[in-house]
Structure 1
């Protein structure tokens, strides 16, 4: 008798990168649960990916909803092998200009949501092992002007992930992996709305990634877990060098922001011409 496929959960999978990550796991034979705070988006993605794909409305800030998603996939698949914390939100501008609710939303979705998903997944993986993939950001590794609170939430996510991985190993748990994937700016709906936003310029200062670039990185991480993967790799080296010499890094930021603004202007012009 063929055993049922192992279960997998992807948060924030109603659109964009999350949808592609769910498709990757379906392709690999997992029984995938698509979750999103947008019920219609979660349902539509599940229907698009196949008749056996599950869906649920989940606010990752709510621990009970996250636990219910885990229990749902465990009931349907028997075990949980993969959990991808992908849900995230971005608001730009200096922290002192952002309303309190915007700051709280980023911290709760990006940091607390990652914590809720990771802890919930570990509880299900204690017996058979598994792999937690946290989609973080290069903003979790360095200073990002115009995105201070977002960067704080991503620093929290990566700090929590690596510390929890250390706790697992110190507890003698070797068969649960946690991998953080830290992409540069990705051309997804999250950045579409930031094209004319000067505060988002740094996200456009490197090679703007396609969602498929991140899917490729996640595919490699699933085959060979790594604590931290930067996408692209050279940007990870760049931001770590800036962090090693923060004075130099801060002086270089205006040049990077200016480059990002030029890219924004070019892309905006192209879109207007194509309209």
Structure 2
């Protein structure tokens, strides 16, 4: 408890899924949280659930002026911004030859440009404070290639590289920038039909954990990087992926459970 006591955090894509779990955990650990999302009903409901420690603000992360207004309001109301979690993201399925330019650009605008705008907007305030933590939610697909997800993969590799550049530019000002790389996580994005977890797990027999991830497992990793416990982490990549990035089993050979 109290690992984020008196800290002020902004979480994008915070209305549901990994973002909502992160907001709940941050409040439990003593933070005041600004929940941002385009999903107003879900975001407002979560803010009511969390009480006085949380507020909801609608934010399109690809909107430069909206970012400026959000951060200025946060600093005016709370006096500081200690943590930024760039979590908002979208998917677009389709082969490279079938994916439209507009669909590709939308994914990059939200996943990568949105992360860039968040970093750029909070950085001056964190530099002035001499402290801050920025946690960028990339993906296991920012560590590897995947068919049918060219736009998503490109954006998440971009987040990974942006994290390194930002860590170099901001680290000597006391601002830490790190990335988290979730694997399959049981959220609306990856399980839109709400299939039972036992059914979902059947698709993960080829990875070491033998199951899909829980959003709270990603939230706890985010908490670590956001907290002062990660004081020597700059530009790091934390894979919370059940071993997906490590490789996959050859069925029937020694060491394989399948």
Tell me how far apart the structure 2 counterparts of residues 9 and 187 of structure 1 sit (CA, whole Å).
23
**CA drift at 1:5:** 3.1
The corresponding residue for 2:190 is 191
Tell me how far apart the structure 1 counterparts of residues 169 and 85 of structure 2 sit (CA, whole Å).
20
Q: Secondary structure at the match of 2:224?
A: helix
Q: Secondary structure at the match of 2:52?
A: coil
Alignment of 1:86-235 (within 5 A): 86-128=87-129, 129-169=131-171, 172-173=172-173, 175-193=174-192, 204=204, 206=207, 207-222=211-226, 223-224=229-230, 226=233, 227-232=236-241, 234-235=243-244
Q: Which runs of 5+ in 2 are unaligned?
A: 196-202, 252-258
**CA drift at 1:194:** 7.6
Number of residue-to-residue matches in the alignment = 230
**TM, length-normalised to structure 2:** 0.82
Does the C-alpha gap of structure 1 residues 76 and 132 become closer, same or farther in structure 2, counting only changes over 3 Å?
A: same
**Superposition RMSD in Å:** 2.4
Structure in which a larger fraction of residues adopt helix = 1
Does the C-alpha gap of structure 1 residues 159 and 58 become closer, same or farther in structure 2, counting only changes over 3 Å?
A: same
Contact kept? 1:35, 1:55, Cα under 8 Å: yes
Tell me how far apart the structure 1 counterparts of residues 237 and 96 of structure 2 sit (CA, whole Å).
27
Alignment of 1:76-91 (within 5 A): 76-91=77-92
Does the C-alpha gap of structure 1 residues 26 and 182 become closer, same or farther in structure 2, counting only changes over 3 Å?
A: same
Q: Which runs of 5+ in 1 are unaligned?
A: 197-202, 240-251, 257-275
Q: Which moved more, 1:59-68 or 1:211-220?
A: 211-220
**TM, length-normalised to structure 1:** 0.77
**CA drift at 1:57:** 0.5
Contact kept? 1:5, 1:77, Cα under 8 Å: no
**CA drift at 1:150:** 0.5
**CA drift at 1:166:** 1.5
Tell me how far apart the structure 1 counterparts of residues 126 and 65 of structure 2 sit (CA, whole Å).
18
